[in-house]
Amino acid sequence: MRWRLTLLVAATTSAVVLAFLVPLALIVRSLAEERSLAEASSQAQTLAVIAAVQGAPGVKAWLDDPAKRPTGKVTVWLPENQTLGDQVSVPPTPEAKAGVASAQKIDGQGVIYSAAAGDDADRRVVRIVLSGAELHDGVGRRTFILALLGLLMLGLSVVAADALARRVSHPIRDLAGAADSLHEGRLETRTEERGPPEVVAMARALNRLAARIEQLLIAERESVADLSHRLRTPVTALRLDTESIDDPVIAERLELHVDNLERTVDAVLRDARRPVRPNMAARCDAATVIGERVAFWSALADEQGRSLRTRLPAITTWAQIDAVDLTDVVDALIDNVFAHTEEGVPLEVSVTLDPAEGVVLVVEDGGPGLPGSDVVNRGHSNAGSSGLGLDIVRRAAIASGGRLELGRSRLGGAQVKVVLGSSELRRSEPTLRRRRQRGAKQPGGLRSLFLRLGFR
């Protein structure tokens, strides 16, 4: 917007300057012609008087003196067909012989006639011819000065317009940056209220909106956390009642349901307590985080007789995701295997770095496989669980710039492939991405601000 305003002022000022300079240059040219003709007429009249009073010797002395000789080609006709000065084949006009003085522009040249008193036969006639350059002497220099003044005026207007546009565009740019931060989850972001009154009002409204969103989100999370915490008491009571049932079949079935209910409550509580983090700017060493979580779950795998194999790269593998989020992803995937497969079913976790995609996390098991492709839908489960685990994984993968894929593993069971955006890959081509963003046509003004806030 800054450059658009500056260019607009520059174009407007250029039109105004040209509208003044072009007529002014024509006036300067016309005045120069009139001045040159007037000076030549005065010199021609003086020379005619000298010819009448002093005769040929006076005219020769006047023409031989560089300080007195008139500008241009000078021709003096004396009686008895005597001609002094520049010899020409054209005789003087009848009007000049009759004593009529004239100064006019003919074929781009100035022609001046002047005659001394006397009868037509004894008339002294003087003619001065000015070339185009002599007629417009000084016009080029004056036009150049006018052009410099016009350029100076244009430059001053552009500087003033740029300063004014900067006062307007910088606060709007700060507003856009604050909107981007809010879109990425940094709800504590506030923008400085400065600039024109309209921009100040917009900044104030954005700050109030951010504060209101933060308050509503905190209140919602607290409500969900309180509700989940209150559910722990009846869940604990159900577990105690289940343990007191004599029928082992019914007790085992109820215990399984209580376990699923408890996992659901824990998942809701954990998700409610997770702070909103700017995943776009976070990163972690995926191999290290995944290795630590696999080591944590290995104790339970040994207890259940599971074969837990891990394949991790030996180099640092930066992924565009927060370590806490990646921990939740690994825990959700491994917990699904433990919850939905029999004891002793093998499990394999591998991490690879794909130059084309990024960091790829694959969790495979030898169980019965996935019950359907709709298990990633939030709250949907075909196995009696909460249906939140894979949805948490999917949302974390998308937030990092990746995706979630489900398939069949080579162990015979389910394969969950999580592609995470690689921080190294993103830093390797920032220039190309910025060029693409500049080349794309972006909406401006309020529409750009609302789009950055996520409104469609």
Tell me the mean pLDDT in the region 389-417: 86
Q: Is 234 exposed, middle or buried (0-12, 13-18, 19+ CB in 10 A)?
A: exposed
pTM for the structure as a whole: 0.44
Structure token digits, residue 280: 């776009």
Q: Is the pLDDT of residue 277 over 70?
A: no
Kindly report, residue by residue over 104-152, the tens digit of the pLDDT.
888 888 899 988 866 655 678 889 999 888 888 888 898 899 899 989 9
Q: Is 385 left (phi over 0), alpha (psi -120 to 50) or beta?
A: beta
Identify the weakest region by mean pLDDT among 5-14, 145-154, 235-244: 235-244
Measure the CA–CA gap between 100 and 115, rounded to whole angstroms.
7
Length of the chain: 456
Q: Is the pLDDT of residue 375 over 70?
A: no
Tell me the pLDDT band of 445, cut-offs 50, 70 and 90.
Answer: very low
Structure token digits, residue 200: 């100040």
Kindly report, residue by residue over 16-46, the tens digit of the pLDDT.
888 888 899 899 989 998 999 999 899 888 8
Identify the weakest region by mean pLDDT among 307-311, 323-327, 350-354, 420-424: 420-424
Does 317 or 385 have the greater pLDDT score?
Answer: 317
The predicted pLDDT at position 421 comes to: 78
Identify the weakest region by mean pLDDT among 228-237, 294-303, 347-356, 405-414: 228-237
The predicted pLDDT at position 447 comes to: 42
Mean pLDDT of the chain: 79
Using an 8 Å Cβ cutoff, are 278 and 418 in contact? no
Q: Is the pLDDT of residue 349 over 90?
A: yes
The predicted pLDDT at position 429 comes to: 40
CATH of 184-276, one of 3.40.50.1370, 2.30.300.10, 3.40.640.10, 1.10.287.130: 1.10.287.130
Identify the weakest region by mean pLDDT among 152-161, 343-352, 382-391, 399-408: 382-391
The predicted pLDDT at position 246 comes to: 77
From the list 315, 411, 422, the residue with the least C-alpha distance to 364 is 411
Tell me the pLDDT band of 388, cut-offs 50, 70 and 90.
Answer: low
Fold of 2-140: Beta-Lactamase (3.30.450)
The predicted pLDDT at position 299 comes to: 86
**Comparing 2-140 with 279-430, is the CATH topology the same?**
no
Tell me the pLDDT band of 179, cut-offs 50, 70 and 90.
Answer: confident
The SS3 assignment for 102 reads strand
Instruction: Tell me the CATH number for domain 279-430.
Output: 3.30.565.10
Q: Is the pLDDT of residue 449 over 70?
A: no
Measure the CA–CA gap between 59 and 49, rounded to whole angstroms.
10
The predicted pLDDT at position 448 comes to: 44
From the list 456, 438, 439, the residue with the least C-alpha distance to 447 is 456
The predicted pLDDT at position 347 comes to: 92
Q: Is the pLDDT of residue 226 over 80?
A: no
Using an 8 Å Cβ cutoff, are 24 and 195 in contact? no
Side chain identity, residue 428 = S
The predicted pLDDT at position 360 comes to: 92
Residue found under tokens 């909106």: 209
Tell me the mean pLDDT in the region 86-114: 85
Kindly report, residue by residue over 182-193, the tens digit of the pLDDT.
887 787 888 888
Q: Is 318 left (phi over 0), alpha (psi -120 to 50) or beta?
A: beta
Q: Is the pLDDT of residue 437 over 50?
A: no
Residue 121 makes CB contacts below 8 A (sequence gap 6+) with 79
Beta-ladder partners of 406 = 416
Domain limits of the chain? Answer: 2-140, 184-276, 279-430
Using an 8 Å Cβ cutoff, are 384 and 260 in contact? yes
The predicted pLDDT at position 391 comes to: 82
Tell me the mean pLDDT in the region 278-295: 79
Q: Is the pLDDT of residue 455 over 50?
A: no
Tell me the pLDDT band of 418, cut-offs 50, 70 and 90.
Answer: very high
Query: Which CB contacts under 8 angstroms, 24+ apart, belong to 146-149?
Result: 146/21, 146/24, 146/25, 146/28, 147/21
Tell me the mean pLDDT in the region 58-74: 86
Identify the weakest region by mean pLDDT among 90-99, 286-295, 305-314, 442-451: 442-451
The predicted pLDDT at position 275 comes to: 58
